[in-house]
Amino acid sequence: MKNILLVLSICLIGSNLFPVNLHAQWSTNPAINNAICTTATQQQAPRVVRDGSGGAIITWWDYDYLITGDYNIYAQRIAANGIVQWTVDGISVCTNPALQHVPEMTSDGNGGAIIAWQDNRSGLADIYAQCITGSGVVQWATDGIPVCAETLYQTSPQLISDGSGGAIITWRDMRDGINYIPYAQKLNANGAIQWTAGGVPLSQLNGESLQIVSDGNGGAIIVWHQYTGVYPDGNFDIIVQHINTNGIISWGNDGVAICSLTSDQLRPQLISDVGNGTIIVWEDHRNGPSYSNLYAQRVNASGVTQWTLNGVAIAPNTLHQIRHKLLGDGSGGVFITWQYASGGLMNTIYAQRLNSSGGRQWASDGVSIGGASDSRYPDIATDGGTGAIIIWYDYRGSGNGDVFAQRVDSAGAVQWIVNGVGVCRDLSGQVYPRLVADGSGGAIITWDDSRNSATNSSDIYAQRVGDNGTLGGATDVNENNNSLPATFALEQNYPNPFNPSTTIQFGLPSPSYVTLKIYNLLGQEVASLINEKRDAGQHSVQWNARSLASGVYFYRLYAHPTDAKPTGDFVQTKKLLLLR
């Protein structure tokens, strides 16, 4: 019966007898969710990026503990409507018979993704990478290309898009046999090495916990913590370095020390700010070895610190703060979320906002995001406006780990139910969630999941939460001319502010000749996105502004109906904000 209905539906679609509305396939049940990979092997450590069409691409490493003992890299795409797009249980990114693990991923800017990982096919650790299109086709050499295969060990890759279809990758490198030195390399869209073979050293000293963001001009800013002094009497400091689009470091031979107190400063995170610099947040032990407090510093495009010497405190120094994640607030400041790990707030999720001057905007100890029963490992993404969506896992209910989410506005007010919306409440364990914005005010979340008791393995699942905190539902990105809009409509772009890409949507109630153009504040045209006839329905287009400076721009839609009964011309203009 199901096959008959499917064939009938396809026939009716093909004959255009009525407009088709593709119904969402996202689960609305927190005990079910959407399976990404459920093979009998172990799948762990998912990473996720947007696919540019309201969905997401997810990658993970897969351990075949049953037969081969291999660790491999796989990926899957899930569309805006919750339907997986590629081969069941994912496309193989690398299945070389060796250890491949800790994959990281960035968008390629064209609906696909670039994935980098640590690879032991040589017998020691190297860095490899692969590009996969939105259709699930790998683009570079089978099992990936070597980013760095120097002697000894290259580990812990991190990467970002270069804004031109390629990527900048950084890693820890022990080729000298003594220290782990931070290195970086750039690949173009074809996977060709762009900088010095073997990579560019960012310092001559050791570096750990590397993190990377774009500088807005085709280069990158990389931060790490570094041991200084003679062991065991030395300490860890926070160091940051800039490398431009040509692979030249510009903040000294060993980077700039952001905090160099005699105590330990560890595990930095960073985001791009609005002026091609960065905001960095780290764990700091200046108040004693028992307290890991969060401090922050802003660094401009020249590598000069902008806030208080050695950083500003995020929350009271009597409370242990760990596992922080960051998100730009769109106004030159930053959202920070973290896990309290001491006192009466032990293992609860909090958040704080700093403005562009480093001033705390919310309560002194932050805003409670999820305070129920041993909450851990938060992550954060934009809500598409001026707020944020924060996720974590905790041990309420079954006591095995469940995934929760909360939305917070720019003023620090939580928007969903107290202690968060249950994203996954299956009785087994769900841990280490990651998320991306869905472009419609909600988010797509993925995690390690242990519900498959029959194979005693961990799997990868995903779930969408909408802007109102409900599970499931399709995003606003429509495909294949879904149900016809009643009127012409030009939607607000998302994300907004953006850097460097954003999506613009519009609706046509009838076939129309459409132009969609971008203008600067002087009224000068800077981009023409559409100039052609379009069918009735919902449409979207992505604009990449990587060649333009930060600022306010305008997008203008002109639509002239071409059907038998014209309803008049439609013209509408809206504002968007590019923040580098």
Query: CB neighbours (10 Å) of residue 389?
Result: 29
> For the chain, how long is the longest CA-to-CA vector?
83
User: CB–CB of 47/57 below 8 Å?
Assistant: no
According to the model, what pLDDT value does residue 14 have? 37
* Spatial distance between the Cα atoms of 252 and 242, rounded to a whole number of angstroms: 9
Instruction: Give Cα 556 to chain centroid, integer Å.
Output: 29
Could you say which DSSP state residue 484 is in? P
Instruction: Please state the pTM of the whole predicted model.
Output: 0.79
Structure token pair of residue 53: 């069409």
For residue 576, give the H/E element and its range: strand 570-578
Tokens 């609706």: give the residue: 507
User: CB–CB of 395/377 below 8 Å?
Assistant: no
Distances (CA, A) of 464 to 59, 81, 84, 401: 17, 9, 13, 18
Sheet containing strand 551-561, strands side by side: 525-534, 512-519, 551-561, 570-578
Phi first, then psi: what are they for 11, rounded to 5°?
-60, -45
Write the secondary structure of 346-393 as one string of H (helix), E (strand) and C (coil).
CCEEEEEEECCCCCECCCCCCEEEECCCCEEEEEEEECCCCCEEEEEE
According to the model, what pLDDT value does residue 3 have? 42
Structure token pair of residue 88: 């069941």
- The string of pLDDT tens digits covering residues 502-555 is 888 888 888 888 899 999 999 899 998 988 888 787 787 878 888 899 899 999
User: CB–CB of 291/349 below 8 Å?
Assistant: no
According to the model, what pLDDT value does residue 230 have? 86
Phi first, then psi: what are they for 10, rounded to 5°?
-65, -40
Could you say which DSSP state residue 84 is in? B
* Coil/strand/helix, residue 87: coil
Tokens 């023409």: give the residue: 528
Give me the residues of the chain with pLDDT under 70, please: 1-24, 371-373, 397-398, 455, 474-484, 562-568
User: CB–CB of 510/567 below 8 Å?
Assistant: yes
Report DSSP letters for 104-122, one per residue: EEEE-SSS-EEEEEEE-TT
Length of the chain in terms of residues written: 580
Strand partners, 352: 336
Query: CB neighbours (10 Å) of residue 518?
Result: 20
Distances (CA, A) of 399 to 35, 322, 395, 404, 405: 22, 22, 4, 14, 17
Tokens 């020390």: give the residue: 257
Phi first, then psi: what are they for 286, rounded to 5°?
-65, -20
Asked if the bond preceding 232 is cis, omega within 30° of 0, the reply is yes
According to the model, what pLDDT value does residue 345 have? 75
Burial class (CB in 10 A: 0-12, 13-18, 19+), 326: buried
Sheet containing strand 312-313, strands side by side: 265-272, 278-284, 293-299, 312-313
| Domains parsed from the chain with CATH numbers | 323-475 (2.115.10.20), 489-578 (2.60.40.2550)
Structure token pair of residue 515: 């132009």
Residue type, 537: G
Tokens 């309201």: give the residue: 54
Residue type, 40: A
According to the model, what pLDDT value does residue 9 have? 37
* Spatial distance between the Cα atoms of 518 and 500, rounded to a whole number of angstroms: 14
Residue 103: closest CA among 84, 128, 137: 128
User: CB–CB of 483/19 below 8 Å?
Assistant: yes
Asked if the bond preceding 495 is cis, omega within 30° of 0, the reply is yes
Could you say which DSSP state residue 223 is in? E
Residue 60: closest CA among 71, 70, 69, 51: 71
* Spatial distance between the Cα atoms of 415 and 408, rounded to a whole number of angstroms: 6
* Spatial distance between the Cα atoms of 234 and 230, rounded to a whole number of angstroms: 5
Structure token pair of residue 24: 């969402």
* Coil/strand/helix, residue 574: strand
According to the model, what pLDDT value does residue 231 have? 83
Phi first, then psi: what are they for 13, rounded to 5°?
-65, -45
For residue 312, give the H/E element and its range: strand 312-313
* Spatial distance between the Cα atoms of 93 and 151, rounded to a whole number of angstroms: 24
**Cα-atom radius of gyration of the chain, to the nearest Å?**
24
